[in-house]
Amino acid sequence: MGVRVRLRQGKHVALYRHIAEEFRTRIATGELPPGTRLPTVRALAREVGTTRLTIHNAYRELQADGLIESVVGRGTFVSPQARPTVQPSFGERLEPDSVLSDLHRLQNARVLHNLALAAGDPELFPYEAFWACLEGLRLQAREVFGYGSVMGEPELRVALSGLLEQRGVQADPAEVLVTVGGLQGLALVCRALAEPGEEVLLEEPTYLGLLGILKQFRLKPLPVPLDEEGPRLEVLEALLKRHRPRFYYTIPSYHNPTGLRFREERLWRLLELAQTHGFTLVEDDTLGLLSYEKAPPTPLFALAQKMGLEARVVHLASLSKVLMPGLRIGYLVASPALLERFTTLHNVSDITGPPPLLQRATAQFIRQGGLKQHLRQVIPIYQKRRDVLLQTLKRHMPDGVRWSHPEGGFSCWVSLPRLFSTLELYHQALAQGVALTPGEAFLVQADKTMHFRLCFGAERAEGLEEGVKGLAQLIRARFPSA
């Protein structure tokens, strides 16, 4: 069953209570989540080296506490009502994989104000409208429960092609590859464009997920710092004189974690440099549709098409931020030669993308105008939350603290003098029930300034105010008195 009992030595208690305590602890920590099937009495007695009566007594005690339940003919399971009661530890390491793990666990942790996760609010997800699209596929059950196409369901690729066209990207459905979320697409690109030990360019700070992938594939990052208009081109040009990077990963539309929208002039220059120096630009446009003050930015890929340089750009995106993350639908667009390499890798390693059922339902949802209506409803709400965050920072943060002013997306980048040791503010904030993301996790190398990311999509206005006020109190306490 995959569940083994680790008995501790030196406890002078009845063996059945010892066994019950072991299971109780593992249920409390979440190691045995609700629904976990426990070993049969016979199997566990054999494993522990005791009688079946001892195991019966242990299970009876757990059942009396409401932690497990037995189903005749099926077995014994952790009860659906048994929830973890012991908080996991956070902030033990600053490596990207550890911080990403923290972000996901914080969704279920008991924090009052979660300003750490760059995601939409589940209360605003269009469940009913999407469920209707799922119901409409009942007659296609035989098809949608198969493996599906390697490239993605044709209906979804047609819908995504139309979505891209609205942003100025001309992409035939045959040029769209559907992936399992944006991360799978990014991993495909890294594997196809670079070999272990080779160098790649990225912005500093950058998306956490990329840093984890680079570490996994043993690629060497070359950071390009940002200013308020985008990447600092003089630094980039200096790096290009000394290195031969395989690609440059960029987030020009509402950059994560800073929230910046890059100036178009910088993007034209990036394209010229890519052509001159022979590297590929990998554009992450996951947040481009979440625009609060202007029309969504023109994607880098669309600009490249105007210059005839589309072969120099890979366009990556995902529906996780603009629709619902649980769909796990991402996609990429590239030149035919690159797309063939990506598809070959995809076929060998992953076989297929997201479940065909979800792909077809998503296609129908987009085709019926559901995504457009959803964005029309949520963008004013997210914009108001962004405004509350910025206003509260202005009212309560001491002089010497700076922050970005995102025009879209979910992220705000906060910078201050290094008044705290590494992870100290993170831990102190969590102790007060406020979650943030430490800035060092987004950097290749930490600098003299301290940073952290605050996200406003999933937290209501009151929570944003209270969370920022609590952070401001912690920070004010460290500032030298005037």
- Beta strands of 49-133 (E only): which ranges? 68-71, 75-78, 113-114
pLDDT digits (tens, 9 = 90+) for 195-208: 999 999 999 999 99
Which CATH number among 1.10.10.10, 3.30.9.10, 1.50.10.10, 3.50.7.10 corresponds to the domain 15-78? 1.10.10.10
Q: Do domains 15-78 and 127-369 have the same CATH topology?
A: no
CA distance 279 to 227: 22
**Confidence at residue 9, expressed as pLDDT on a 0 to 100 scale:** 46
Distance between CA atoms of 361 and 271, rounded to whole angstroms? 36
Rounded average pLDDT over 11-25? 77
What's the whole-number mean pLDDT along residues 43-72?
89
What length does the chain have?
Answer: 482
With b for 16 or more beta-carbon neighbours within 10 A and e for fewer, the 94-106 pattern comes to bebeebbebbeeb
What confidence score (pLDDT) does residue 298 get? 97
- Is the pLDDT at 49 greater than 90, yes or no? no
Environment class of residue 162 by beta-carbon count within 10 Å: exposed (0-12), middle (13-18) or buried (19+)? middle
Question: What dotted CATH number matches 96-124+373-476?
Answer: 3.90.1150.10
Q: Look at residues 14, 81, 71 and name the one whose alpha carbon lies nearest to residue 38.
A: 71
Which residues, listed in sequence order, are joined to residue 177 by a DSSP beta bridge? Answer: 332
Task: Please give the CATH architecture assigned to the domain spanning 127-369.
Answer: 3-Layer(aba) Sandwich (3.40)
Question: What's the pTM value of the predicted model, to 2 decimals?
Answer: 0.81
Q: What share of the chain has pLDDT > 90, as a percent?
A: 69
Question: Residue 134 pLDDT > 50, yes or no?
Answer: yes
Q: So what's the pLDDT on residue 5?
A: 63
For residue 256, CA distances in Å to 101, 226, 249 come to: 17, 12, 12
Cα(158)–Cα(429) distance, integer angstroms: 46
Is residue 313 within 8 Å of residue 283, measured between CB atoms?
A: yes
Per-residue pLDDT, 15: 84
Q: Which pLDDT band, with edges at 50, 70 and 90, does 47 fall under?
A: confident
Q: Where are the alpha helices (DSSP H) in 217-312?
A: 233-242, 264-277, 300-307
Over residues 4-12, mean pLDDT? 53
Question: What integer is the mean pLDDT of 72-86?
Answer: 79
65 sits in the region (left: phi over 0; alpha: psi -120 to 50; else beta) called: alpha
Tokens describing residue 271: 């394209």
Annotated domain spans of the chain:
15-78, 96-124+373-476, 127-369
- Give residue 153's Cα distance to chain centre: 24
For residue 31, give the 3-state DSSP assignment. Answer: coil
Given a contact cutoff of 8 angstroms between Cβ atoms, the answer to whether 434 and 111 are in contact is yes
- Span 302-311, mean pLDDT? 97
Q: How far apart are CA 90 and CA 106, in angstroms?
A: 9
Are 110 and 430 contacting, i.e. CB atoms less than 8 angstroms apart? no
CA 394, CA 411: separation in Å to the nearest integer?
A: 16
Per-residue pLDDT reduced to its tens digit, 317-373: 999 999 999 999 999 999 999 999 998 888 776 666 899 999 999 999 999 999 999
Q: How far apart, in whole angstroms, are the C-alpha atoms of residue 459 and residue 452?
A: 17
Residues 10 and 22: their CA atoms lie apart, in Å, by: 14
Q: Residue 351: what pLDDT?
A: 60
Residue 10 has pLDDT above 70, yes or no: no
Percent of the chain whose pLDDT exceeds 70: 90
Average pLDDT over residues 45-50: 87
CB-CB contact of 78 with 92 (8 Å): no
| Strand bridging mode 411-417 / 402-403 | antiparallel
Burial grade of 345 (CB within 10 A; 0-12, 13-18, 19 or more): middle
Over 90: is that where the pLDDT of 92 sits? no
Which residue, chain included where needed, has tokens 């566990």? 44
- Residue 247: its pLDDT value, please? 98
Does the pLDDT at position 110 exceed 80? no
Token pair belonging to 431: 């102790």
3-state helix/strand/coil string of 398-431: CCCCEECCCCECCEEEEEEECCCCCCHHHHHHHH
In this structure, of 151-160, 171-180, 209-218, 343-352, the range with the lowest mean pLDDT score is 343-352
Number of neighbouring beta carbons within 10 Å of residue 167? 19
Contact 282, 253 (CB under 8 A): no
